[in-house]
Amino acid sequence: MTKSIKDIDKNYVMNTYNRYDLEIVEGMGVNCYDVDGKEYIDLSSGIGVNSLGFCDMGWVASVTQQVCKLNHTSNLFYSQPCALLAKAICERTGCKKVFFANSGAEANEGAVKLARKYSFDKYGKGRDKIITLVNSFHGRTITTLAATGQDVFHNYFFPFTEGFKYAKANDFKSVEKLIDESVCAVMMELVQGEGGVIALDKEFVTSVAGLCNKKDVLLIVDEVQTGVGRTGKFLASEHFNIKPDITTLAKGLGGGLPIGAVLAGEKCADTLGFSMHGTTFGGNPIVCAGANYVLARIDDDFLFSVEQKGEYFKEKLEEIEEIESVSGLGLMLGLKLKSKISSDVVKEGIKKGIIMLTAKEKVRLLPPLVITYDEIDKAVSMIKSILEN
């Protein structure tokens, strides 16, 4: 890697990331290249973002056409890419209205505001608590850190936003115990990503959804990591046969440009009115042009292929002796290792030319959704050789 870039970064960028000793300069499909031209197979998608891989030709064309036409307007005006993206998302998911933000955390912030306003309108003050799950992850803003059910994130930045209570995942009684008159929403990831790629039990999820419906408590599903095809369905909630009141998206929706989205169902589609929420960059035409292309590509055949490739990848990984088990759905996989330390495996992978992630004690794989069977075979044999050394 170019030493000067590392030095400049270390000197001038806040030291909040523990970067690997790798400077990626270009990429195409599932492969990227460092400054020396060394090739890497990427099983991270920039943490679930590059759903179509690096620089997909169609995505590049859509984005560049838009760059040359109109870069930004502000939300004081209408623009075609934003309106068409909202329509496509609603038609695809059955939600009724969308608010566009710039990141997953910001989408979750919007969801919290939406749920609290819905409850305030109907029940008045004091019904503002939100139940989230232990081991969840919802973002890095003060509110989404508070929403995150992990003590390790509740440090330094006091005071955090009030009003979050944490229930145990897959323990319906623990949710039931916390749902009282003060609760306006339950928020959860259906596959806990940062928490270790753990899919929730179907029975738990449907029971919580039923209870929320009965009590007019809004169900918020955080699909920032699981949404837009990652699990082999457009939304992970389809695996669980539930219709959340609010769904949040980000990461894979933009295919490589920053976007977040709050999807509101029937109940709360008109809850946020004029001047109640906003953001300068939300619905930016270039970002929405990229997202429109991603949505057009992720059709039913594409989703079916993600499901199939996910199963194939899982089966192949399960054959590796050092892997104790493989969790997750679709192309969101967590590898529990028998004896190796996941962070060491990821470091070794980078040396060998394969990019992977960790999630708690697991190795986490979020490959581009366009990965081919040959590329999966290649990745499996590289992982095998790393784990058997």
Question: Could you say which of 193, 282, 328, 349 contacts ligand PLP (CB under 6 A)?
Answer: 193
Q: What does the alpha-carbon distance between residue 295 and residue 293 come to, in Å, rounded to a whole number?
A: 5
Q: What does the alpha-carbon distance between residue 264 and residue 271 come to, in Å, rounded to a whole number?
A: 9
Nearer to ligand PLP, 242 or 387 (CB): 242
Check binding of 255 to ligand PLP (CB under 6 A): no
Instruction: Assess contact for 232 and 221: CB atoms under 8 A.
Output: no
Nearer to ligand PLP, 1 or 47 (CB): 47
- For residue 189, the minimal CB distance to ligand PLP (Å) is 5
Which one of the spans 98-106, 343-351, 355-363, 367-375 is the region binding ligand PLP (CB under 6 A)? 98-106
* Chain position carrying tokens 């004091």: 126
Name the residue with the smallest CB distance to ligand PLP. 104
Give the Cβ contact number of residue 348 at 10 Å. Answer: 16
Which one of the spans 19-27, 162-170, 186-194, 303-311 is the region binding ligand PLP (CB under 6 A)? 186-194
Instruction: Assess contact for 46 and 256: CB atoms under 8 A.
Output: yes
- What is the 8-class DSSP label of residue 108? H
Residue 335's closest CA among 373, 307, 367?
Answer: 367
Question: Could you say which of 42, 189, 245, 375 contacts ligand PLP (CB under 6 A)?
Answer: 189
Question: Could you say which of 34, 56, 109, 194 contacts ligand PLP (CB under 6 A)?
Answer: 194
Rounded to 10 degrees, what is the CA torsion of 144, 149, 151, 155? 10
Nearer to ligand PLP, 253 or 337 (CB): 253
Report the run of H or E that residue 321 belongs to, with start and end. Answer: none
Q: How many chain residues bind ligand PLP (CB under 6 A)? A: 14
Q: What does the alpha-carbon distance between residue 195 and residue 303 come to, in Å, rounded to a whole number?
A: 24
Interface characters, 102-141, with ligand PLP (x: CB under 6 A) = -xxx--x----------------------------xxx--
Interface residues with ligand PLP (CB under 6 A)? 103-105, 108, 137-139, 189, 193-194, 222, 224-225, 250
